[in-house]
Amino acid sequence: MPELPEVETIARGLAKRVTGDVVQSVWIGRKKQPLKSSATEITSVLEHSRIAAVHRMGKHIVFDLDHDRAGSRRAQWIVHLGMTGRLQVCDAQTETAKHTHAILTLASGREVRFIDPRRFGRLSVASAGDFDTQGVEPLEVDLEHFIPLFQGRKTPIKSALLNQKLLRGVGNIYADESLFRAGIRPRRRASTITRENFAKLHRSIQEVLKEAIALGGSSVSDYVNADGEEGFFQLEHRVYGREGEPCLVCKIPIKRIVIAGRSSHYCPKCQK
């Protein structure tokens, strides 16, 4: 399940491969589509545009497009991978994977393919500047802007961390891992957390995300980067997916509870 570190890794890999290439044609499957813009709209924006850059915003992969049509504004192709989405860069000869929903043919002869079995992913286009996800980038926000995000919220801190309108890019894995490192229980009401603990949490989130990016993300279920390689951060998980296993600090078994329909893992002794 791609969260910020996985999406960052994928975006970097894509940028290396397709920056400067030109989209010649677009195919979009007719199966009930995970589209936020219409297929016609996506096709017309993408076709004959040059990929100027690929970068990440929250959990979205953003392709900045230059159009050669005079007077047309710069545009962006935005991909959200959902749970199981993948973007593959390959030769036209490569066999089409099951659940391929969109194919961009590039001037270089290669193709960018969007594959998503569970279809929680989303494709859309926007004029440059129009796409603005709410929420702040967790790796950019400083403590003084971080704390107010949670002030007055009665919701469990875990839910608040997952709320993309506050902080964008943190998902289930990194929320659990950050809370463990900060020593805060996932069910703690956001409004009851002290300034000191917010400082710990802020630091933990940045550390966890940076370490995960350095290791190419976490490969659980079927995540692979743009090269089809797995990441290694899953080996560093201290609580996520470790229900019943001993806490790496105190040996007490890790607990799993459900918060807002999401499984949440924590150590009952190390987290208060």
Partner DNA sequence: ACTATTTCCTGGATGC
Partner DNA sequence: TGCATCCAGGAAATAG
Which residues make up the interface to DNA (CB under 7 A)?
A: 1, 3, 32, 58-59, 80, 82-84, 98-99, 117-120, 152-156, 159, 162, 164, 171-173, 258, 260-263
Quote the CA–CA distance of 185 and 48 in Å, as a whole number.
51
Burial of residue 194 (CB within 10 Å: 0-12, 13-18, 19+) is exposed
From the candidates 12, 50, 187, 262, give the one annotated as an active-site residue.
262
- Residue 25 or 263 having the CB closest to DNA: 263
Q: Please confirm, yes or no, whether 138 is among the known catalytic residues.
A: no
Q: Please confirm, yes or no, whether 2 is among the known catalytic residues.
A: yes
Q: How far is the CB of 45 from DNA (least distance, A)?
A: 19
Q: How far is the CB of 207 from DNA (least distance, A)?
A: 19
- Residue 202 or 237 having the CB closest to DNA: 237
Half-sphere exposure (Cβ direction) of 88: Cα atoms closer than 13 Å = 24
CB atoms within 10 A of CB 219: 18
- Residue 133 or 206 having the CB closest to DNA: 133
From the candidates 17, 59, 113, 181, give the one annotated as an active-site residue.
59
N-term to C-term CA, the chain: 27
Q: Please confirm, yes or no, whether 95 is among the known catalytic residues.
A: no
Q: How far is the CB of 78 from DNA (least distance, A)?
A: 11
Nearest Cα to 173, choosing from 79, 236, 254? 236
Q: Please confirm, yes or no, whether 262 is among the known catalytic residues.
A: yes
- Residue 29 or 183 having the CB closest to DNA: 29
Nearest Cα to 250, choosing from 266, 263, 234, 233? 266
Q: How far is the CB of 229 from DNA (least distance, A)?
A: 18
| Strand order, beta sheet including 23-28 | 23-28, 100-106, 110-115, 86-91
Task: List residues with catalytic annotation.
Answer: 2-3, 59, 262
